[in-house]
Structure 1
């Protein structure tokens, strides 16, 4: 089946089959913003050149959300009021994708004006991939699309590899996914005592599954995942940011800064960089530094003191734009300096006074 690029109306997909022009209209109820607009578009579709062909409706929610009978009933009533009866005499199948609806409930939800037309044409399936029973074969990519689709049908942006400001931001000023992860650790403080916390990778399949949930902003499922999976997503999203949380220039300067530099001078360097960083970067740094400091409190149990945590997380915050041999040689120095940052993050963020002189002048040592 080929999926046509006709996503103008949130909640309505028009899909054609490879074996002909047999139309299929998929209605994603939780995505519908304006039912009248959807009815108008549907009317236009039904009055096209294939006006005498039969067609199929598929009614569903995104795969992760249950579809309730009241939602189906509301939609059918709206369509009954806005689309001529003769258009529905051509319908071949009305397929509802839900594991929360019974056949009789679906039949009872049909408006009385359509009952003779639709009663024998209504079908229930539990999952999207069961549509093939009705000769509607969705590819896995199309099923994934229906699971993750957003309200405006914009081309999907991969979860990994964005700029930090491109993620939905919560009221706390940090990305929503980060808030969800931090709250996860607050609820499960025992995970932070686990030996090797943040060093063990989780299942790749589970990681992909959690990323898909984050992609559709479904953060409530996070408790269903193993802590190693959560930490894998946590680290990977930071390491793969389009631009690291700290500017590329900061890594280049830190790797050339001697390891025995005075604490005062190093703190001054960090303070200058914080002054120039976007607010979301500063708040993200503070929240994660607080978490790491808390994890280090359990060093006797998890064997992850600030030094070991800095080895794991320094690359998540600091990296070169173009890696070369000197980056590997300077990695230990950067880890040392990042360790100091974590220990003193509150100092940097209490009062930031940007100095508009060039950073290079300010940081000359």
Structure 2
């Protein structure tokens, strides 16, 4: 279902925005050929076609690149932020207007796109080659962005493919994805360890006996063996190499998935769009509620602002259309609600008051998240 056809719950701009945690990884262990298959290859992106053993191969390939690190890693592409940038008096180059949701009392001056939308060591392992992968998409965007307001992008298969890649890139290279990765890994690791010491206890004993010739009496000895079994996976998680492999593979998977669905280029009839620091979001409606943050394959659509006047949305077929002011406001609420700290507008935008009205609820949501178990 496309954005323009997604039923708006609760009237023109009513209803409730509800977060939905996605389960993006599973840990699998199996007994094969007299040994346990385990380690980083057991952690896979849901829906990925790559066998887990390829994770180990990729980790080995990246070992020589471990120190090739880019510190400033943009989670919002500069080329995308430039669609919101304009010249400003007494400042050089194009500027965007940032808003700090955590400290709204601090007046933020306009800034160049290179100065915002980045996180230090977002991926802390071998990120230089990952940045090169993102650049393959980003360097194709300037002529495509020029074609969007001209109305010619829809008839250009290459332009549509690049815009689809842009959605996949921001869906995966996001704080939402990274947070989900950490949460699911910790949950899955704890569950795997629990299983080894409970239902899988006999298999763990048999594996230890076959490998070492020694029995494993007592729960403490079993716990030591379970931790040894999971140690490679834990080490790869701890040094960031597992995130590096997963984010690369998940981008390729998301890219393939997005290539098979329609893309809508939507224009605001009134008002203008803003963009947050977590800009690509998945949406679906359930029981008169607008749910966000689910896995890509479970969504009715995924949206990404493309500038003050345009937004992208996945749907059943390629198309162009317009959305009313209520939908523009709704998408702006979503951008603020899902932002991790900052949102951005064009300089001189009338959205300052709109953003200010949403900040107390954003801060309350952040406090509730920190207090939740």
TM-score, normalising length: structure 2:
0.25
The structure where helix makes up a greater share of residues is 1
The structure where strand makes up a greater share of residues is 2
Of structures 1 and 2, the one scoring higher in RCO (CA 8 A, sep 6+) is 2
Structure with larger Rg: 1
TM-score, normalising length: structure 1:
0.25
